[in-house]
């Protein structure tokens, strides 16, 4: 009862100083806003990335020229490595006993046309036989590239659902001829829609025989080599064996450092996770700083309020307010102030998250826990930084306070 | 806590109050002794610098004496800590100030209710008592007005209602007519007379002879001592 009374009083005194109250809590607004938006974006990113990165099976690994490098010099060093070549993939394939599939892949970006419609910079994956076994590529229609088509450099293509949608609208693409760059390809399959939303999602890819793509676009550029460990084999042993054979194929000795990188989806995911942890770290920093600044501003304004209302404090003391009553009054006021800053932050944060979800491909959605954490943090700041002003107010001597102006 | 009815409500023995001003000690009150019984109507008078304000602060338990003994309703005030003083102000004393000292953002009823909130009474009980006190000063139709919507006389009556609502042993008024015109001042003084007739003890601090004459007894202070103490 007394608490509600204090809240009512606090609200009316904050309302009578609306602009000042608003300016006072900007720190809290920013802090809670950041919590709500960043958490919603990262949660969206998490879901997105988990779906997007984990496309291959857990038993698949990939050799590539440049691995996940975090610094520029290392990147430049790896850039000078000799390319991975198709013949190296072909050379190691029959030698691997721990693995069952070796698939070379060469990526190009080409514009794609069908009738009057076109799409620019589409990722064309030139792949070897078995590509549908190292990645999860369920068909919606038609069939996958056949071994003979791949060997025979035939101009056939399996398109992602995004490409189908863009170029064919409601038409059936099977058997139609599309142009990849200058070359015509016949569509023989469509991959099921996966719903990834980033630009390079599977839905926007086209798979063609690597041989055909090389003939059309040249053999230059490093390929990636996907390897699937044999059923029952240990992934580690399969990786070791394949690395060794690739070193030999590339003219290295077995004890040399490899001049290529071995990557897995798991690694990619870990890389992402460490990056998102970094963002969370940054969030903690931003939030702590805005809360600290916000808290100091709140403390300052509460000290001003105590000075302005010295007379009021005197009156309250004269008619029987104890120290704890005065402390409670000013603490409640500080917490209510801070809490409303938090609410404002939540409101703006929800708007922010909705905007992110609408304007970017990230499925950002507001997390209830981030709202609660934000409000809790904001209120705690009010409580903590309200202690000193409230204490000051409670210690005013009643006769001095009654003598004050106002 | 329950003194016999013949013991005085307020008893001061050898009360002194010393302030330090720089190196000097200034006596605001020098060894003052006095007693005020229940249902007395007393005016405390004196020119400025006589110790009148200090006396009022001590009687009102807003301040404690430097030496001497002060018994209010049987309790030794000089031994109380800050919160006990707050409690005694809340229960035993009803203040009426020259400048009214109402909270500007609260309504008349809100102002009157405040001491009851600090006493911790339940809402229904508070409501009942507030209505009674406001009716007693004739402001029932103004209960929801804020101080700035009321005239000076009405504000002072709200303050009187606030003083009465706790049913204190002592109504302590400090120049209650000082900010009012003569007619309104008279009206307020009639209100005090009525309160006194209703059985309350009233102590009125003033420097105006006309005002003091409304009391039954006048205590005159000069230079921190009691100069005279006589019935009107």
- Considering only the beta carbons, identify the residue of B63, B82, B123 that sits closest to A1: B123
pLDDT of A69? 80
Q: Which residues of A touch B114 (CB under 8 A)?
A: 316, 319
How buried is residue B127: exposed, middle or buried, by Cβ count under 10 Å (0-12/13-18/19+)?
Answer: middle
* Listed range (A324-328, B3-7, B110-114) with the worst mean pLDDT: B3-7
Q: How far is B71 from chain A (nearest CA, A)?
A: 18
pLDDT-derived band of residue A157, with 50, 70 and 90 as boundaries? very high
Percent of chain B with pLDDT over 90: 84
- Kindly determine whether residue B62 and residue A324, on different chains, have CB atoms separated by under 8 Å: no
Q: Do B90 and A5 touch (CB under 8 A)?
A: no
List CB contacts (< 8 A) between A324 and chain B: 83
Answer whether residue B212 shows pLDDT above 70.
Answer: yes
The answer on pLDDT for B18 being more than 70 is yes
The larger pLDDT score, comparing residue A7 to residue B125, is at B125
Shortest Cα–Cα distance, B199 to chain A (Å): 21
Interface test with A, best of B65, B117, B120 (most A CBs within 10 A): B117
CB contact under 8 A, A402 and B119: no
What per-residue confidence (pLDDT) applies to A365?
82
| Residue B54 in contact with partner chain A when CB distance is under 8 A | no
| pLDDT tens column, B55-91 | 999 999 999 999 999 999 889 998 899 999 999 999 9
Residue A112 tokens read as 């794609």
The pLDDT, as a whole number, for residue B187 is: 92
User: Does pLDDT of B137 surpass 50?
Assistant: yes
Q: E strands within A151-294?
A: 156-159, 177-180, 183-191, 205-209, 224-229, 261-263
Among B19, B51, B86, B161, the residue to mutate for chain A (most A Cβ within 10 A): B86
Token pair 């939303």: residue: A197
Residues of chain B contacting A10 with CB distance shorter than 8 Å: none
List, for residues A71-95, the tens digit of each pLDDT value: 889 889 998 999 999 999 999 999 9
B72: burial class by Cβ within 10 Å (0-12, 13-18, 19+)? Answer: buried
In the predicted structure, residue A315 carries a pLDDT above the cut 90: yes
Which residue in B62, B83, B123 is closest to A323 by CB distance?
B83
Domain borders along chain B are: 10-231
Distance CA B149, CA A15 (A): 20
Mean pLDDT over A245-272 rounds to: 88
Percent of chain A with pLDDT strictly greater than 90: 56
Residue B2: is its pLDDT beyond 50?
no
Distance of CA A31 to the CA centre of its chain: 20
* Element spanning B12, H or E: strand B10-21
Phi, psi of B95 (to 5 degrees): -90, 140
Q: A323 and B97: CB-CB below 8 Å?
A: no
Q: What are phi and psi of B91, to 5 degrees?
A: -95, -40
CA atoms of A249 and B202, how far apart (whole Å): 111
Contact of A309 with chain B, judged by CB distance below 8 Å, is answered with: no
Residue A399 near chain B (CB below 8 Å): yes
Using pLDDT thresholds of 50, 70 and 90, give the confidence band for residue A54: low
Render pLDDT for A178-209 as a digit per residue (tens, 0 to 9). Answer: 999 889 999 999 998 875 544 446 688 999 99
Strand partners, A178: A185
Average pLDDT over residues A224-253: 92
- B119 contact residues in A (CB cutoff 8 A): 320
Task: Categorize the per-residue pLDDT at A55 as very low, low, confident or very high, splitting at 50, 70 and 90.
Answer: low
Average pLDDT over residues B28-52: 93
| Interface predicted TM-score (ipTM) | 0.93
Of A314, A320, A398, the CB nearest to B118: A320
Chain A: give the shortest CA distance to residue B105, in Å: 8
User: Which CATH fold topology does B10-231 show?
Assistant: Rossmann fold (3.40.50)
DSSP-derived secondary structure for A293-341: HHHHHHHHHHHHHHHHTHHHHHHHHHTT--HHHHHHHHHHHHHHHHHHH
Residue B196 contacts A where some CB pair is shorter than 8 Å: no
Question: What are the φ/ψ torsions at residue B207 (nearest 5 degrees)?
Answer: -115, 5
Report the residue from A311, A315, A322 with minimal CB separation from B83: A322
pLDDT recorded at residue B5: 53
Strand partners, B70: B12
- Which residues of chain B neighbour A322 with C-beta distances below 8 Å? 82-83, 86-87, 118
Question: Cβ–Cβ of A320/B122 closer than 8 Å?
Answer: no
- What is the pLDDT averaged over residues B92-101? 94
Distance CA A305, CA A106 (A): 69
Report whether pLDDT(A342) > 50: yes
15-34 of B, contacting A, C-beta below 8 A = none
Q: Does A116 touch chain B (CB under 8 A)?
A: no
CB atoms within 10 A of CB B67: 12
List chain A domain ranges.
Answer: 2-51+270-403, 60-263
Which residue reads 């008024």 in tokens? B173
B199 CB within 8 Å of a chain A CB: no
Which string of b and e fits A342-360 if b means at least 16 CB within 10 Å? bbbbbebbbebbeebbeee
Range from A10-19, A279-288, B78-87, B167-176 carrying the lowest mean pLDDT: A10-19
Closest CA to A386 of A344, A345, A342, A339: A339
Residue A58 pLDDT > 80 = no
Element (DSSP H or E) covering residue B82: helix B82-92
Between chains, do B91 and A311 touch, taking CB under 8 Å as contact? Answer: no
Tell which phi-psi region holds residue B71, choosing left (phi > 0), alpha (psi between -120 and 50) or beta.
beta
Nearest to A211 by CA among A183, A239, A171, A173: A183
Q: B48 by DSSP, 3-state: which?
A: coil
Interface test with B, best of A17, A311, A318 (most B CBs within 10 A): A318
| Per-residue pLDDT tens digits for A94-153 | 999 999 999 999 999 899 999 889 988 898 999 999 998 888 888 999 999 999 999 999
| Model pLDDT, residue B1 | 45
B214 touches chain A (CB under 8 A): no
| Contact (CB, 8 A) for A33 and A347 | no
Burial group, residue B199, by CB count within 10 angstroms (0-12, 13-18, 19+): exposed
> Does pLDDT of B159 surpass 90?
yes
pLDDT per position as a tens digit, B111-126: 999 999 999 999 899 9
Select from B89, B122, B123 the Cβ nearest to the Cβ of A319: B89
pLDDT for res A2: 67
pLDDT at A1 over 80: no
Specify the 3-state DSSP secondary structure of B2: coil
A308 half-sphere exposure, CB direction, 13 A CA radius: 11
- Position A283 scores a pLDDT of 87
User: Contact at 8 Å (CB) between A122 and A205?
Assistant: yes
- Ranges A7-11, A56-60, A217-221, B28-32, most confident: B28-32
* Cβ separation A1–B83 shorter than 8 A: no
């Amino acid at each position: 009862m007394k608490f509600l009374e204090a809240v009512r009083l606090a609200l009316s005194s904050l309302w009578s100083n609306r602009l000042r109250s608003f300016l006072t809590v900007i720190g809290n607004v920013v802090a809670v806003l950041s919590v709500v938006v960043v958490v919603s974006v990262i949660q969206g990113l998490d879901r997105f990335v988990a779906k997007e990165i984990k496309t291959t099976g857990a038993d698949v690994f990939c050799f590539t020229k440049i691995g996940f490098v975090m610094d520029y010099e290392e990147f430049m060093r790896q850039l000078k490595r000799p390319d991975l070549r198709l013949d190296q993939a072909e050379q190691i394939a029959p030698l691997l006993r721990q693995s069952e599939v070796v698939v070379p892949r060469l990526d190009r970006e080409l514009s794609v046309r069908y009738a009057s419609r076109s799409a620019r910079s589409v990722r064309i994956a030139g792949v070897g036989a078995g590509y549908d076994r190292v990645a999860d590529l369920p068909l919606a229609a038609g069939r996958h590239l056949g071994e003979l088509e791949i060997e025979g450099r035939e101009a056939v293509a399996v398109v992602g659902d995004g490409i189908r949608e863009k170029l064919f609208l409601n038409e059936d693409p099977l058997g139609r001829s599309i142009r990849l760059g200058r070359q015509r390809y016949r569509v023989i399959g469509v991959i099921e829609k996966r719903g990834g939303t980033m630009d390079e999602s599977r839905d926007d890819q086209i798979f063609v025989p690597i041989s055909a793509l090389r003939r059309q676009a040249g053999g230059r550029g490093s390929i990636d080599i996907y390897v699937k460990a044999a059923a029952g084999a240990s992934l580690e042993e399969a990786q070791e064996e394949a690395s060794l054979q690739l070193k030999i194929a590339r003219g290295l000795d077995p004890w040399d450092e490899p001049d290529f990188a071995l990557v897995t989806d798991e690694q990619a995911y870990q890389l992402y996770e460490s990056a998102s942890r970094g963002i969370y770290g940054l969030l903690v920093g931003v939030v702590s700083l805005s809360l600290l600044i916000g808290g100091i501003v709140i403390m300052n304004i509460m000290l001003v309020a105590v000075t302005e209302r010295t007379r009021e404090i005197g009156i309250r003391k004269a008619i029987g307010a104890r120290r704890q009553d005065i402390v409670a009054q000013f603490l409640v006021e500080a917490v209510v102030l801070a809490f409303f800053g938090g609410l404002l932050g939540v409101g703006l944060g929800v708007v922010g998250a909705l905007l992110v979800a609408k304007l970017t491909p990230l499925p950002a959605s507001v997390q209830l826990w981030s709202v609660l954490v934000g409000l809790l943090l904001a209120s705690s700041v009010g409580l903590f930084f309200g202690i000193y002003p409230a204490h000051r107010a409670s210690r005013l001597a009643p006769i001095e306070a009654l003598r004050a102006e106002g | 806590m329950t003194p016999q009815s013949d013991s005085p409500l307020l008893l001061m023995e050898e009360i002194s109050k010393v302030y330090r001003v720089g190196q000097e000690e200034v006596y605001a009150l020098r060894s003052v002794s006095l007693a005020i019984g229940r249902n007395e109507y007393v005016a405390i008078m004196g020119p400025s610098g006589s110790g009148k304000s200090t006396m009022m602060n001590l009687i009102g338990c807003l301040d404690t004496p430097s030496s001497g003994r002060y018994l209010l309703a049987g309790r030794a005030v000089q031994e109380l800590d800050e919160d006990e003083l707050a409690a005694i102000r809340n229960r035993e004393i009803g203040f009426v100030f020259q400048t009214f000292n109402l909270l500007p953002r609260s309504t008349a009823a809100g102002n009157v209710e405040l001491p009851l909130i600090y006493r911790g009474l339940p809402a229904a009980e508070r409501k009942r008592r507030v209505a009674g006190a406001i009716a007693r000063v004739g402001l029932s139709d103004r209960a929801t007005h804020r101080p700035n919507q009321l005239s000076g006389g009405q504000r002072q009556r709200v303050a009187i209602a606030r003083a009465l609502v706790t049913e204190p042993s002592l109504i302590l008024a400090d120049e209650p007519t000082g900010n009012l015109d003569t007619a309104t001042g008279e009206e307020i003084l009639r209100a005090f007379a009525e309160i006194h007739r209703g059985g309350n003890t009233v102590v009125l601090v003033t420097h105006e002879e006309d005002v003091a004459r409304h009391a039954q007894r006048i205590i005159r202070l000069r230079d921190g001592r009691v100069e005279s103490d006589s019935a009107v």
